[in-house]
C-alpha cells in the first residue's frame, strides 16, 4: 500500500515529536511492506515567519490533496502580538474548515502502567477510565463572528440542526461500536443553541434504539469526569465544551502527552494530532513525550488507511515499552528509566 501523508511539524516541540512518529511509521512500512510518502507543510508560527500567513492557500491545498495529515503543534509566545486574525491558531481553524473535518475524537484511557500518575484517588482509577469525547470541530463559537467595538467584545455561538445532526450521528455510531452508552453534553438551562442541540440529539435517538442516550449539563460533566469517570463510554458535545472537557479528561489519565486525537469528515482523509500544545518552554531539549503523536499516527493507520493490524502493532509496542519501565519526564515514576524524546521513539519503533 502506498499513502501520501502531509506532515505539519509546526512550532515548539512539534518538529521533535512528529519526527518520532515518522520514525515509527517508517518502521511500520518496513515491516508490513507499505510505502508512506511525506510532504512537509508549513502552518502556524513558522508559516507566519516565512509567509506572513499562518496557513497559505498553497499549503492548505497540499493537505487537502493528501491521503491524511499528521500534525505536531502550533503557536507560542513569539506570536502573541500578531493580529488576532493572523495568530498561529487561525491556521489550525482554517485547516479544519478547509479539510471539512467536523468530528474530533479524543480518547481518554488510563494505561495500566501509568495508573499511579493519575491525580485521581486509586479507588477511582481502579474503577476504570476508558471513554471517548466526540467534539464538533468546525462550528460554534470558534467559527462564529468575532468583533470588538470600543470597550465591548462579542463572539457568536451558532449551530444549525444539520451541524448538530451530523456530529450526533458520529456520537451514536461511535457508541454503537463500544459500550452503547452516549452522553450528550450541553448547557440547555441557559443557551438556545444547547436547547436545539438537545432537541436534535433526542430526535436522532429514535434511529439508534440500541444506544442508551443520556443528557448532562457541561458544568456537571466537568465535575463527573473527576468524580466518576467510569460512568462514561462516549461523550458528544459542541466545539468549545469539547475543547475544555477533553483537556480535563486527558489529565486524569496521567499526562496530556499520552493522548492522541483524530479529526474526520465525509472522507477518509483525516487530521491526526496529539491534543497538547507546542510547549515552547521545553522545545529543542529532546525531553517532550512523543507517545501522543505516535498514537495519533496509529489512529491514522486504523481510521484513514484501514490498517488495523499495523495500528495494533504500534499500540502494542507502546504498551511494551511502558511495561519495560521506560518513561519520559512527564510520566516518570520511581523505579523507571528516564529516556529522551528520540530514545522513546527508537524504543517503540524497535518493538514493532
**Catalytic residue IDs:** 142, 187, 219, 243, 247
Three cell numbers, residue 303: 481510521
d(CA 52, CA 88): 10
Residue 150 is given by DSSP the state T
Phi, psi angle pair for 172, to nearest 5° = -65, -45
Note the helical H segments in 114-266.
122-125, 161-176, 192-205, 218-227, 239-252
Residues 225 and 245: beta-carbon distance below 8 Å? yes
**Sign of the torsion formed by the C-alpha atoms of 347, 348, 349 and 352:** positive
Angle made by CA atoms 179, 182, 186, in degrees to the nearest 5? 155
Three cell numbers, residue 111: 494505561
d(CA 346, CA 21): 10
Amino acid at each position: 500500500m502506498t499513502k501520501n501523508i502531509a506532515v505539519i511539524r509546526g512550532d515548539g516541540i512539534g518538529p521533535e515529536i512528529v519526527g518520532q512518529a515518522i520514525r515509527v511509521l517508517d518502521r511500520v512500512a518496513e515491516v508490513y511492506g507499505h510505502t508512506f510518502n511525506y510532504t512537509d507543510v508549513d502552518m502556524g508560527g513558522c508559516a507566519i515567519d516565512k509567509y506572513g500567513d499562518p496557513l497559505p492557500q498553497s499549503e492548505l491545498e497540499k493537505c487537502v490533496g493528501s491521503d491524511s495529515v499528521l500534525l505536531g503543534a502550533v503557536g507560542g509566545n513569539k506570536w502573541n502580538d500578531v493580529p488576532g486574525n493572523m495568530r498561529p491558531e487561525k491556521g489550525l481553524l482554517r485547516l479544519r474548515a478547509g479539510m471539512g473535518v467536523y468530528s474530533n475524537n479524543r480518547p481518554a484511557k488510563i494505561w495500566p502502567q501509568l495508573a499511579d500518575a493519575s491525580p485521581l484517588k486509586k479507588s477511582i482509577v481502579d474503577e476504570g477510565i476508558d471513554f471517548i469525547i466526540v467534539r464538533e470541530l468546525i462550528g460554534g463559537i470558534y467559527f462564529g463572528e468575532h468583533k470588538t467595538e470600543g470597550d465591548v467584545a462579542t463572539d457568536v455561538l451558532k449551530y444549525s440542526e444539520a451541524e448538530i445532526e451530523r456530529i450526533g450521528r458520529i456520537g451514536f455510531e461511535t457508541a454503537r461500536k463500544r459500550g452503547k452508552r452516549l452522553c450528550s453534553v450541553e448547557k440547555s438551562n441557559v443557551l438556545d443553541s444547547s436547547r436545539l442541540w438537545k432537541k436534535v440529539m433526542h430526535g436522532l435517538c429514535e434511529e439508534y434504539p440500541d444506544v442508551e442516550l443520556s443528557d448532562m449539563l457541561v458544568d456537571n460533566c466537568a465535575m463527573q469526569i473527576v468524580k466518576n469517570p467510569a460512568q462514561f463510554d462516549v461523550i458528544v458535545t459542541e466545539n468549545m465544551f469539547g475543547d475544555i472537557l477533553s483537556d480535563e479528561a486527558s489529565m486524569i489519565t496521567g499526562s496530556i502527552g499520552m493522548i492522541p486525537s483524530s479529526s474526520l469528515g465525509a472522507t477518509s482523509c483525516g487530521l491526526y494530532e496529539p491534543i497538547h500544545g507546542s510547549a515552547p518552554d521545553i522545545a529543542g531539549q529532546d525531553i517532550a513525550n512523543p507517545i501522543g503523536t505516535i498514537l495519533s499516527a496509529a489512529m491514522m493507520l486504523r481510521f484513514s488507511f484501514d490498517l488495523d493490524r499495523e495500528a495494533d502493532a504500534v499500540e502494542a509496542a507502546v504498551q511494551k515499552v511502558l511495561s519495560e519501565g521506560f518513561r519520559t519526564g512527564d510520566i516518570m515514576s520511581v523505579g523507571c528509566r528516564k529516556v529522551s524524546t528520540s530514545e522513546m521513539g527508537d524504543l517503540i519503533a524497535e518493538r514493532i
